[in-house]
Chain A
Amino acid sequence: MSAESTAIPVPVLPVSAACKTVGSVAVADPLISARDVNVYYGEKRAIMDVNIDIARNQVLAMIGPSGCGKSTFLRCLNRMNDTIEGARVTGLISMEGSDIYDKRKDVVQLRARIGMVFQKPNPFPKTIYENVAYGPRIHGLAADRVELDEIVTTSLRRAGLWDEVKDRLNNPGTGLSGGQQQRLCIARTIAVNPEVILMDEPCSALDPIATARIEDLIDELRASYAIVIVTHSMQQAARVSQRTAYFHLGDLIEVGETDRIFTNPRHKLTEDYITGRFG
């Protein structure tokens, strides 16, 4: 992590008075701040004036009914929407005080700082070793083979996969089980040493045991990274996250401490959703 991140706390950006989101949108010393973010797919507005801060060393869960824009918002944070034809983002998203949509910003460096894990495990058609080594290689993080080996080993260990694959690092990554593949994808993401990890329903293709392993892993990773996770499972959100955001039809309805949201939701829509009256 860069030195500046620990030196001076990043100031909290003001939230406009028009923001109707219930709860504490802003946090002290935020890593990422989104202000009045809108996303359009062509003419269609998928995200409406969303304001939210992402704190360091914390898990933020994003919940909400299908199609409400969770993935869309998540993809704004590492500019993955750039790859979608017709997608347009307005508003301000800043990371440690600088606008990530700034024309002069290199998206490649941004994505090295903000990693992403997808709904379906998507290991590359390469060996397990090469899957993890891929990121460090393209960013030139390792000076030599020894250092690269070191990065691969540590990343696999931190992803909790090392013991299962240490004897077959040269086998194809696609030959692993679904849960192992997802942990491989997490290892691949950690290997470039990001500051934030975005996870879009990382457990939805996994069985309960594999899910439990990933949840444990998320809890451990929190010590070093800020994590944003999209999930359809309220139990999962309650188990792994410290803050929860509830989206509804493109609006960010409510944000707050996870315990508070699940025990004492303030907005009617949030209450309906978490008590199962919606979606």
Chain B
Amino acid sequence: MSTSALLLLIAAMAVLGYWLGKHRSLALVGGGRGIRQLHSLPGYYGLLTALWCALPCLAILLVWLAGQESVITTLVLRGLGTAATSEHASSGLLMNNIRNVAAGVIPADGVSPQVQAGAAEYLRLRSISAMAISGVILALGLAALFWVRARIAPQLRARNAVEAIAEKLLLACSTLAVFVTLGIVLSVAYESIRFFHSVPVHDFLFGIEWSPQTRMRDDQIGSSGSFGAVPLFLGTAMISGIAMLVAVPVGLFSAIYLSEYANRRFRSVAKPLLEILAGIPTVVYGFFAALTVGPILRGFGESVGLEVASESALAAGLVMGIMIIPFVSSLADDMITAVPQSLRDGAYALGATRSETIKQVVLRAALPGIVGGVLLAVSRAIGETMIVVMAAGLAANMTANPLDAVTTVTVQIVTLLTGDQEFDSPKTLAAFALGLVLFLVTLSLNVFALYIVRKYREQYE
């Protein structure tokens, strides 16, 4: 049976369990009239039965899904003997061939007899395994059903049990996100450590030359590669800086205008329009930057005698800034509108003008939220990829001139991981190291934002 069929089977047994449990509990007290003798409502007995039936089955199914492939692989390889593996470069390669043949991706007549035999064995084992798990699940499910049904008694605290199970399920869901994050971080960290075995941390963090081309084979001619990431950090910082120079003033001032000065009609038109900016796909911003803003900047540069690269940090930064405006403005707008009217009234009543009130009272009170929004925007700018890929170029220039082409951490991750890759080369592993740096920077930005927010938070009831 396929996995989806197994899931259906489990669901069917759970429904049966609900029905059985509910009716059993009612039967025990002589029908609906005796319902008050039950500790819990009949539905809870049904739910309890269903859960006790479905959860163990699901657990078994998960274990099986996770483990069957490796067990079958071991068995197939053992059946073929060690002779087979020595012929192929590795047992992994052999197993890949076997799987492809078994799946029909590679025609069976073009491969060695060993692979054919392996494929046949593989298919046989798989069908045995599928039958076995179907049998186990059916047996386990039914056994659980009848076991719980037999234990149902009017005093059984079905509601409490169900609620305890529900709580555990919620807990599991909430820890899932934590574990996934942890898993990602650990795997990135692990690969980074492998990278740092071939390239010292110091060279990576402080080296000023980035040219990640390495030889893939011994007979290939090529440089040994150098992995000094400073040009990337500089490029990232410069583009994000330009973006923030655009986004923070424009976003903040538009938020102030919209929340403090604009009349309702203007606001009801302008605010959605501003938020549409956030809905434009980044790739569209990317070609806007590359095809429109870049040439305009270059043309303008020529007319005043400046040399502007066709792919420049300035073009990417400007467009990224435009993209980020709605993040800053909508968060700032929310925070400004959340400042109680009574604070404004207090300032007005003292004779403060509107701009004094906004500068010294409203913005002051909204500061934590605004800082949070800006930091959020910064981490978005740092992580943004598409615009820079298209508009800032790939050249890892060590430059502070925004008119030059630069490259960023994210762009390099993309280029390192696209195309033919060898998974063990420092070139590929460098992507993980860059990813780790990116992650650490974003994390500290967020921690910092939270710290500021907590420091300035004022309680308005």
Contacts and interface: CB of A to CB of B under 8 A. Distances in A.
A234 to B, nearest CB: 26
A138 B351 contact: yes
Contacts of A100: none
B21 to A, nearest CB: 55
Given A134-B360, A138-B356, A174-B459, A124 B351 contact: no
Contact of B343 (A111, A112, A124, A139): A124
Contact of B350 (A83, A85, A125, A134): A134
B267 to A, nearest CB: 12
A183 B412 CA distance: 60
Interface string A103-131: 00000111110011010101111100000
B109 interface: no
B349 interface: yes
Contact of A118 (B264, B342, B365, B459): B342
Contact of A80 (B263, B348, B352, B360): B348
A243 interface: no
A87 to B, nearest CB: 13
Given A83-B345, A138-B356, A125 B364 contact: yes
A54 interface: no
Contacts of B458: 125, 172, 174
A115 B348 CA distance: 10
Interface string A71-88: 000000010100101000
A189 B345 contact: no
Interface in A138-183: 138-139, 172, 174
Nearest to A191: B350
A110 B351 CA distance: 7
A108 B352 contact: yes
Interface string B325-367: 0000000000000001011111111111100100011001100
A23 interface: no
A126 B363 CA distance: 12
Given A118-B342, A120-B342, A122-B343, A83 B361 contact: no
Given A83-B344, A118-B345, A172-B458, A111 B350 contact: yes
Interface in A83-107: 83, 85
A268 B451 CA distance: 61
B350 A135 contact: yes
Nearest to B459: A174
B365 to A, nearest CB: 5
A188 B347 CA distance: 10
Contacts of B364: 124-126
For A78, A123, A124, which residue has the most chain B Cβ atoms within 10 angstroms?
A124
Contacts of A185: 346
Nearest to B339: A125
Interface string A182-200: 0001001100100000000
Interface residues of A, number: 28
A122 B340 contact: yes
Contacts of B456: 125
Contacts of A192: 350-351
Given A122-B340, A125-B458, A115 B346 contact: no
A189 B346 CA distance: 9
B350 A122 contact: no
A109 B365 CA distance: 25
Contacts of B349: 78, 80, 111, 115-116, 118, 189
A144 B351 CA distance: 20
A108 B353 contact: yes
A126 B362 CA distance: 11
B346 A108 contact: no
Contacts of B264: 85
Nearest to A79: B348
A188 B456 CA distance: 22
Given A83-B345, A120-B342, A138-B356, A189 B350 contact: yes
A124 B347 contact: yes
Contacts of B353: 108, 138
A125 B457 CA distance: 9
Contacts of A135: 350-352
Interface of B: 263-264, 340, 342-353, 356, 360-361, 364-365, 456, 458-459
Interface of A: 78, 80, 83, 85, 108-112, 115-116, 118, 120, 122-126, 134-135, 138-139, 172, 174, 185, 188-189, 192
9 contacts: A83-B348, A85-B264, A111-B349, A118-B345, A124-B346, A124-B361, A124-B365, A134-B350, A134-B352
Given A111-B351, A124-B360, A134-B350, 20 more contacts: A83-B348, A85-B263, A108-B352, A111-B349, A112-B350, A116-B345, A118-B345, A122-B340, A122-B345, A124-B346, A124-B347, A125-B343, A125-B364, A126-B364, A134-B360, A135-B352, A138-B350, A138-B351, A138-B356, A185-B346
The 10 tightest CB contacts between A and B, nearest first, are A116-B349, A112-B351, A111-B351, A122-B342, A135-B350, A122-B346, A125-B458, A125-B365, A108-B351, A174-B458
